[in-house]
Structure 1
Amino acid sequence: MSAPNVIDYYFAPMSGYAYLGHARLLDIAADTGAVIRYHPLDMAAVFAAAGSFPPAKYPEIRQTHRKADMKRWAVKLELPINTTPAFWPVPMDLACRVIVASQALGGDQGEVVGAILKAVWVHDLNISDQGDVGKTLELDGIVADEILNVAGDSAVASQAKAETAEAIEKGIFGSPTYVIGDDWFFGQDRLAFLRGHLKNL
């Protein structure tokens, strides 16, 4: 269970809605003094465990409405977005390991997560390719070499896999999901509720 001032943030590194919510989540944490714990997930495994399926497998009509919804949010939030990214979906193992590695190195996980999300939805980079991940980190001023080296460690790989296993055990079913204690907020459109909840603690 989370402490009252801890947000457990469950997300897929290629989630469009995680991208749309990420900057606001960081702002909420800074404004309320909350700490974010980052849980990067292999969402294919999460969807399978929940008896669901990923957005890439939605029927065409639902895909069309999803893209329109994302575009509306991006306009509202004044964020750039390509709703038909060149590399989506792709395997998320490398991105998950890089995010875990950034924590192991004591880096700013929020910055790393933001860079990886932008790789997909802004820069048309492939987060399953080490060169592209390095490039997206460098675009945000993050030195990539050490993070990528540590991301190859077996302990980091094990931790990345454990994040997904623990999320499945907890019952996480979608990205992004924000958890404070027993309270869950699913979707970036619930961030206002998350902020209000933290303000009332």
Structure 2
Amino acid sequence: MAHVDYYFTVLSPYAYLAGQRLEDIAGRHGVTITYKPLDIMALFPRTGGAAPKDRHPSRMEYRAQELPRQAKKAGMPLNFKPAHWPTNAAPASYAIIAAQNAGGGDLGALVHSVLRACWAEDKDIAEDAVITECLKAAGFAPGLAMSGMLEGAETYASNLEDAVGRGVFGAPFYILDDGQKFWGQDRLEDLDLYLSGKL
């Protein structure tokens, strides 16, 4: 059975715009997923990138055009300037890690719920109440928001080191167990075609 490691940040509009297409693709092909939330702001300087605030104006102008286009293409609501962005990504990331370890719910739904809270619902995903709401909606114990803090912090840090070591430089980033890499929500179709043996 094929496997994909999914590297992402809960702060990424592109991870939000991926929706649950990865889960749909994985379901069709019998692929398992390991979710690896990471600190994207720490990843960028280590892999030749820059935080949005530090990027050249031409890149930011393109981003301002591209995000609404991609949202329209996906049929998804998007607040290009969310009220609580950037915020502290760690608490929601820890909760996702704890939920993955605990099992019993829909992890893809949890990840998308957190991303949607930021990019479509103007909620602060660093707040316990928002994280708890997302956990409950995805079928997980709401207490995971607190109980998984220590383990979550350790895994969150190791996910960053793992990502740097495997050549991840942005998010969302997908690596199959045969080493094939796909960067960006706009490459999910290619991931699907690859798994189908067409690429």
TM-score (norm 1): 0.89
Asked whether 1:10 is paired with 2:7, we answer yes
The alpha carbon displacement at 1:63 in A equals 2.4
Structure 2: which amino acid aligns with 1:150? S
Mapped to 2, the partners of 1:45 and 1:162 lie a distance apart of 12
Question: Secondary structure of the residue that 2:20 maps to in structure 1?
Answer: helix
Show the counterpart of 2:163. Answer: 167
Q: Is the 8 A contact 1:125 1:136 kept in 2?
A: no
Q: CA deviation at 1:182?
A: 1.4
CA distance in 2, matches of 1:51, 1:76: 29
Q: Which aligned pairs between 1:71-150 and structure 2 lie closer than 5 A?
A: 71-106=68-103, 107-138=105-136, 140=137, 142-143=139-140, 145-150=142-147
The aligned amino acid for 1:158 is: E
Match of 2:151 in 1: 155
- Please list every run of 5 or more consecutive structure 1 residues that lacks an aligned counterpart in the other structure: none
3-state DSSP of counterpart to 2:156: helix
Aligned residue for 2:65, secondary structure, equals helix
The offset of 1:142, in angstroms, is: 4.1
Q: 8 Å contact 1:94–1:151 — kept in the other structure? A: no
Cα displacement (A) at 1:57 = 2.9
Q: CA deviation at 1:18?
A: 0.7
Amino acid at match of 1:166: D
Question: For residues 79 and 54 of structure 2, what CA distance do their matches in structure 1 show?
Answer: 18
Which of 172, 194, 197 is equivalent to 1:176?
172
CA 1:144–1:80 in structure 2 vs 1: closer, same or farther (change >3 Å)?
farther
Q: 2:39 aligns with which of 38, 42, 61?
A: 42
Distance 1:76 1:144, change over 3 A: same
Q: CA offsets, 1:111-165, max 9 Å, x none?
A: 1111111111111111222223223445x4545522212232x223212211112
The one-character-per-residue Cα deviations of 1:89-117 (angstroms, maximum 9, x if unpaired) are 12211121011010121132211111111
Cα distance between partner residues in 2 of 1:124 and 1:59: 26
Q: Is the 8 A contact 2:5 2:36 kept in 1?
A: yes
Which 5+ residue runs of structure 2 have no aligned equivalent? Answer: none
Q: Is the 8 A contact 1:12 1:40 kept in 2?
A: yes
Aligned residues: 196
CA distance in 1, matches of 2:130, 2:57: 29
Match of 1:170, as an amino acid? R
Q: Does 2:50 align with 1:53?
A: yes
Q: CA deviation at 1:59?
A: 3.8
Structure 2 residue identity aligned to 1:118: R
Q: CA deviation at 1:56?
A: 3.5
Normalised by the size of structure 2, how large is the TM-score?
Answer: 0.90
